[in-house]
């Protein structure tokens, strides 16, 4: 399974850094925030061209803005322009080195592009940023990045930190379940995955649930996860794998 760093959160915390540019009037600052929020909204809808346009307008007013630079960097990365993404992250951090959201987002970008140690450095900077409101995301990203080294002991430590800070955050439970499954600790894996499924749903997690249930010979759990996978995510590779197991008579709970 491919590891993916989580939590490129643009607006949480980053907009607070806007107050560091007092030369702009409140009305102008509000306009930048509006353009940035629109850009982020378009980005979340997958309309990257519109997102880029809104964020470019925000940056035309203040090229140093933390949130706009962070959002534009993420848009450029999704458009397949990593060099441009890096430049926006670096420009934002040059003016806002203590912005935790920027540090976390740049760390996520670096980890995703193979620069593991540099990514970890920026997650640590995010965790030391005194006004960063979501340190659990940096803990989570740190843990996922550490799994790529791999340093599973340290990763588990940061997953537990993220859980302690934000018990409602789902992803740490998924990753811990995956670690337990790899270690053949199937009962613990089932417990962690069940905690994840109380908070969120995803094809990858439900497929892991099927695998855990198969290993435990727990037909009821297999049926629960397989049914929700096939109903909720029928066009995924995970659903196709489960259907193949069904046809081959390898799936428990049928």
The 3-state secondary structure of the chain reads CCCCCCCCCCCCCHHHHHHHCCCCCHHHHHHHHHHHHHHHHHHHCCCHHHHHHHHHHHHHHCCCCHHHHHHHHHHHHHCCCHHHHHHHHHHHHHHCCCCHHHHHHHHHHHHHCCCHHHHHHHHHHHHCCCCCCCHHHHHHHHHHHHHCCCCHHHHHHHHHHHHHHCCCCCHHHHHHHHHHHHCCCHHHHHHHHHHHHCCCCCHHHHHHHHHHHHHHCCHHHHHHHHHHHHHHCCCCHHHHHHHHHHHHCCCCCC
Report the candidate in 117, 161, 110 with the shortest Cα–Cα distance to residue 138.
161
Residue 14 has φ and ψ, to the nearest 5°, of -65, -35
- Residues 197 and 181: their CA atoms lie apart, in Å, by 16
Domain 1-136, CATH among 1.25.40.10, 3.40.50.300, 1.10.1040.10, 3.40.50.2000: 1.25.40.10
Other beta carbons within 10 angstroms of residue 192's beta carbon come to 24
**pLDDT per residue of the chain (254 residues) written in tens, 0 to 9:** 444 555 454 444 344 444 445 478 999 999 999 999 999 999 999 999 999 999 999 999 999 999 999 999 999 999 999 999 999 999 999 999 999 999 999 999 999 999 999 999 999 999 999 899 999 999 999 999 999 999 999 999 999 999 999 999 999 999 999 999 999 999 999 999 999 999 999 999 999 999 999 999 999 999 999 999 999 999 999 999 999 999 999 998 75
Where exactly are the structural domains of the chain? Answer: 1-136, 170-254
C-beta of residue 100 within 8 angstroms of C-beta of residue 14: no
- Residues 67 and 51: their CA atoms lie apart, in Å, by 13
CATH annotation of 170-254: 1.25.40.10
- pTM metric for this prediction: 0.87
- Residues 54 and 36: their CA atoms lie apart, in Å, by 7
Same fold, 1-136 and 170-254: yes
Residue with tokens 């049926």: 223
């Amino acid at each position: 399974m491919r590891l993916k760093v989580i939590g490129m959160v643009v607006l949480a915390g980053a907009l607070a850094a806007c107050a560091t540019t007092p030369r702009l009037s409140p009305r102008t600052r509000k306009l930048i925030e509006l353009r940035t929020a629109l850009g982020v909204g378009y980005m979340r809808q997958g309309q990257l061209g519109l997102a880029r346009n809104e964020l470019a307008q925000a940056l035309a007013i203040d090229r140093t803005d933390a949130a706009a630079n962070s959002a534009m960097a993420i848009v450029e990365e999704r458009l397949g322009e990593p060099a441009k993404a890096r430049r926006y992250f670096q420009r934002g951090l040059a003016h806002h080195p203590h912005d935790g959201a920027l540090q976390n987002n740049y760390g996520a970008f670096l980890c995703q592009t193979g620069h593991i140690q540099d990514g970890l450095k920026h997650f640590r900077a995010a965790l030391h940023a005194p006004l960063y409101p979501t340190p659990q995301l940096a803990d989570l990203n740190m843990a996922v990045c550490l799994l790529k080294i791999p340093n599973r002991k340290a990763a588990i430590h940061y997953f537990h930190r993220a859980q302690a800070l934000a018990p409602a955050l789902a992803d740490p439970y998924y990753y811990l379940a995956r670690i337990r499954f790899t270690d053949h600790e199937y009962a613990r894996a089932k417990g962690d995955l069940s905690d994840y499924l109380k908070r969120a749903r995803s094809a990858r997690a439900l497929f892991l649930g099927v695998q855990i249930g198969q290993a435990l010979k727990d037909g009821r759990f297999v049926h629960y996860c397989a049914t929700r996978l096939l109903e909720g995510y029928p066009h995924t590779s995970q659903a196709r794998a489960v259907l193949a197991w069904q046809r081959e008579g390898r799936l428990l709970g049928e």
